[in-house]
Homo-oligomer: A and B are copies of this chain.
């Protein structure tokens, strides 16, 4: 394992280490002669600077940490992709961790990333302020994405968790549904709480049944979506429509409907969360509550670079909307449940 250092480059170029460093860093105070010699030497030796050494001196690492609940969730996979690509635009490398919807694991990731001296942190957090205390105390530039933790001043990029849900409830009730089953996300997450509150609030504005039995508390994993659908469809007076609070639970719930021989859009209306690509597998097409996940990822990085630069950017709320497709026809149009 050969190790080419800047000293080797400087020697070959016949300049000092300081001059070699200046040339390689693009500093203006270097002569054309020096630039030429150093560039040639670096290329010939296959020189690759040691980022650890540079980081130690510069006190920045050109890395950002990204802690998401679970990259297997298509929504977060899309988000991870958007963040990572946008970070690269700013010459940042992305350090990545899956919290697996677990506050303890999330905390361990924060700790490791702080030790790595990431320049900034983007997280879709879960839990409360105490779970985030070490990060907040560290003063490391941080941005929340998708979810927030109350009682912090961390800038965030979140979806409007209200409008889309309200529109979905209105659409379903306007379509004749009086019993709407809701598969809720975990109440330890802001998205879980806000979407449930929006559902309940929207329901109160209609004549639909306000029945606590029609709400199942899931954990944003597909298995809980399956369990939720199973539970709700087994009620003495089952719902004629289902609304699930995220894409993975939507997948799980639809899977159960398939197993039970229920045809989406014919036997049961279904509204899914997030407009992920895989939903195109379904016929009829799914009605979804959607927001621009790519914009979310990009904006999160943009905000973070501002925080890193010492600014105090405003949080951003991205619009969400209901996209009506074939999975939610009018009740008089054909539901047999």
Please name all residues of chain B whose beta carbon is closer than 8 Å to the beta carbon of A252 when the two chains form the complex: 280
Partner of A81, one of B71, B111, B117: B71
Q: Which residue of chain B has the shortest Cβ distance to A84 in the bound complex? A: B98
A97 at the interface (CB under 8 A from B): yes
Query: What is the 8 Å Cβ interface bit string for chain A, positions 48-85, against chain B (1 contact, 0 not)?
Result: 11111101100001010000001110100110110011
Copy total for this chain: 2
Mark the stretch among A88-96, A122-130, A238-246 that contacts chain B.
A88-96
B61 touches A72 (CB 8 A): no
CA distance A169 to B252 in the complex (A): 30
A311 at the interface (CB under 8 A from B): no
A283 at the interface (CB under 8 A from B): yes
B84 touches A77 (CB 8 A): no
Residues A1-56 near B (CB distance < 8 A): 1, 46, 48-53, 55-56
Query: What is the 8 Å Cβ interface bit string for chain A, positions 160-195, against chain B (1 contact, 0 not)?
Result: 000000000000000000000000000000000000
Residues A243-262 near B (CB distance < 8 A): 248, 251-252, 254-255, 257-258
Residues on A lying within 8 angstroms of B by beta carbon are 1, 46, 48-53, 55-56, 61, 63, 70-72, 74, 77-78, 80-81, 84-85, 88, 93-98, 100, 111-117, 137-139, 222, 248, 251-252, 254-255, 257-258, 263, 276-283, 285
